[in-house]
Chains A and B, each alone.
Chain A
Amino acid sequence: MEATMDGLGSAPVEPISKAKGTGRIADPIFVALLWGSGIFVLILLGLIIAELFQGGLPALQHFGLEFIWTASWNPVTENYGALVMIYGTLFSAVIAVVVALPLSFGIAFFLTEIAPQRLKQPIGVAVQLLAAVPSIIYGMWGFFVIVPLMAAYVQPPLIDTLGQLPLLGLLFQGPPLGSGMLTAGLILAVMILPFITAMFVETLESVPPMLKESAYGVGATTYEVYKNVSVPYGRTAMVGAIMLGLGRALGETMAVTFVIGNATRLSASLFAPGATIASAIANEFPEAQLGSLKLTSLLQLGFILFVISFIVLALSRALVRSRMD
């Protein structure tokens, strides 16, 4: 402190006019740069959308809007439709959120309310590390560890028991391939878990201690505080977190390609192999030839994925806003 004071004292004081002079030149440049950065994002996004739409337009012109609900992807007859992939994308993402949500709630509440101080950090770091694992690693882990486990120990008993039920049984039918919708959903759940958890923790930590202490003060139990104070207080942010996780699950490519079974067939079963938009593009793109209907159909698929992600994001924002009012 003293040193700085001394330094200030000994340095010659710059004339104010000179200092303003540099500001006069620097300011407009700085402002222009900021404008440029902001506009750049808009232009980039616009160009990507335009490029995808334009690239996929021939497919749309050829098949019409039917492209969206045609359940066929046949490279031999060049009859392409997006339904199987759209269904697979949504189905696997919903499984992921359904599995990840309760776990995230549990971890987040444990970390903020229950965990002793010395456990908090290792668990928190572990959750963050999950987010740092590259998706190809999840793919390999899923392929070599989870798929055989599912094929040997999870699917056969479920097919023999739940698969025999009327109606509900439809979800548990088919041969035990190991790979399939459920496996993909589980891998995705692990992948989106850290994101949802991190945002939940942040939300729960932002609950004013006074509110919680007041609740404890009138005799509420831990569960009651959680249910009646913490969750309602952070509800908006939590919905945002879930939507963010859903958005990430929709576009995940590599890990899903490894474990989803990559079949362009429509099936209600959790165990049936399927395909997502991202996995179909990853699989087919290298062999799609310039100017072919396949390439434009893949670009059209990409555009559809863009639209779906956009809708999810818009929904989440709308939800968050409505809760805030």
Chain B
Amino acid sequence: MKLTTALGAFAVTGMLFAGSAQAADFTGAGASFPAPVYQAWGMKYKEKTGNALNYQSIGSGGGQNQIINRTVDFGASDATVPAEKLAANKLLQFPTVIGSVVATVNVEGIATNQLKLTGPVLADIYLGKITKWDDKAIADLNPGVKLPSQAIVPVYRSDASGTTAIFTSYLSAVSPEWKSKVGSATSVQWPAGAGAKGNEGVTGNVKNTKGGVGYVEFIYAAANNLVVTQLQNRAGKFVVPETKAFEAAAAAADWDNAKDFAASMIDAPAETAWPIVSPTYVLLPKDPKNVETSRVTMQFFSWAYGKEGREMAEKLHYIPLPEAVVKRVEEAFKKEILTPEGKPVL
């Protein structure tokens, strides 16, 4: 019984793969965070040019592994790859869109964008040092808001993910104690709370648990109408998570001095910037085995950087790259991706 079901499922997936493989002209794999926009771009691009993108959202680490093994045309990663590793594997790293992470809470009587938190308070919550919602540290930030004397249940991503990397980088940036005790990575040794799988798992856990607090990507919070909080940025201002706050952070990043486009937007200094913002990256071989698909891949991203692609990204709540950065990425395409004969692919 079980065996036949398994075989049946296998046959179906096999058919699906075969179907998509036939139409797929170029393939990518990696980060799940930009997957919705890559897929939307891919559909539109196929309509326009007939070149189909087959993107598998398998996680940033998987994307890096696949492109290092050259099993796909491009890899996608939320976290930046160290310069030495890029050089050793002959990879070009460039950003595609910018995303942000927000805190979501489930506290009785608290509406969305109402609760004010700071980075250090958030770090102390996840360190297990602040355990009640009416703790003085939270109450002082929210005069006039009635907070229940309820246990705080911190919820984190149990699966290793780029979202966790961005969130823990932020906590490390604002809390020295977090930096020394926990640090930042795609998964860390959490001192308190419980883990749930994926954005939907964190959301479900927070929604189900009175007193829960979690972190999710903004696109996810927006699509699901989650109760999100304000955060204090480096300039000391409380900001609401919204597009213009993310754009402010993107604009404040120091792109000019960023090697491999690894510009940090975490805890950006601008007055109106949301503090947890980060680009997501694509990795492209500088010595493509298949010149044709490499060219299509670059043409695809060049198109995506254009007006049509930007509008689609914005509709999905991503922040498009600043124009100046796009120009530099396109220069890198022409200069750094070479055929075996040493000529530019584009």
A binds B: yes
For residue A175, CB closer than 8 A to chain B, the reply is: yes
| Closest residue on chain A to residue B160 by CB atoms | A287
Interface flags for B138-155 (1: CB within 8 Å of A; 0: not) read 000000000000010100
Q: Is the CB of A257 within 8 A of B188?
A: no
Neighbour of B197 across the interface among A134, A263, A283, A289, CB < 8 A? A283
For residue A66, CB closer than 8 A to chain B, the reply is: no
Interface flags for A147-166 (1: CB within 8 Å of B; 0: not) read 11001100000000000000
Chain B interface, >50% SS class: loop
Interface flags for A269-305 (1: CB within 8 Å of B; 0: not) read 0000100000100111011111000000000000000
Interface flags for B215-254 (1: CB within 8 Å of A; 0: not) read 0000000000000000000000000000000000000000
For residue A104, CB closer than 8 A to chain B, the reply is: no
Name the A residues within 8 Å of B190 (CB-CB): 263-265
Q: Is the CB of A286 within 8 A of B204?
A: no
Q: Is the CB of B159 within 8 A of A287?
A: yes
Name the B residues within 8 Å of A77 (CB-CB): 183
The CA-CA distance from A265 to B190 in the complex, in Å, is: 8
Name the B residues within 8 Å of A264 (CB-CB): 189-190
| Closest residue on chain A to residue B187 by CB atoms | A75
Neighbour of B194 across the interface among A257, A273, A287, A289, CB < 8 A? A273
For residue A173, CB closer than 8 A to chain B, the reply is: no
Q: Is the CB of A76 within 8 A of B62?
A: no
Q: Is the CB of B161 within 8 A of A76?
A: no
Neighbour of A289 across the interface among B61, B131, B189, B204, CB < 8 A? B61
Q: Is the CB of A290 within 8 A of B158?
A: no
Interface flags for B326-340 (1: CB within 8 Å of A; 0: not) read 000000000000000
The CA-CA distance from A177 to B208 in the complex, in Å, is: 10
Q: Is the CB of B194 within 8 A of A290?
A: no
The CA-CA distance from A148 to B204 in the complex, in Å, is: 10
Q: What are 25 A-B pairs with beta-carbon distances under 8 A? A: A73-B189, A74-B188, A76-B184, A76-B185, A77-B183, A132-B5, A144-B204, A148-B208, A177-B193, A178-B208, A257-B197, A258-B197, A261-B194, A263-B193, A263-B194, A264-B189, A279-B158, A283-B160, A283-B195, A287-B59, A287-B62, A287-B160, A287-B187, A289-B64, A290-B64
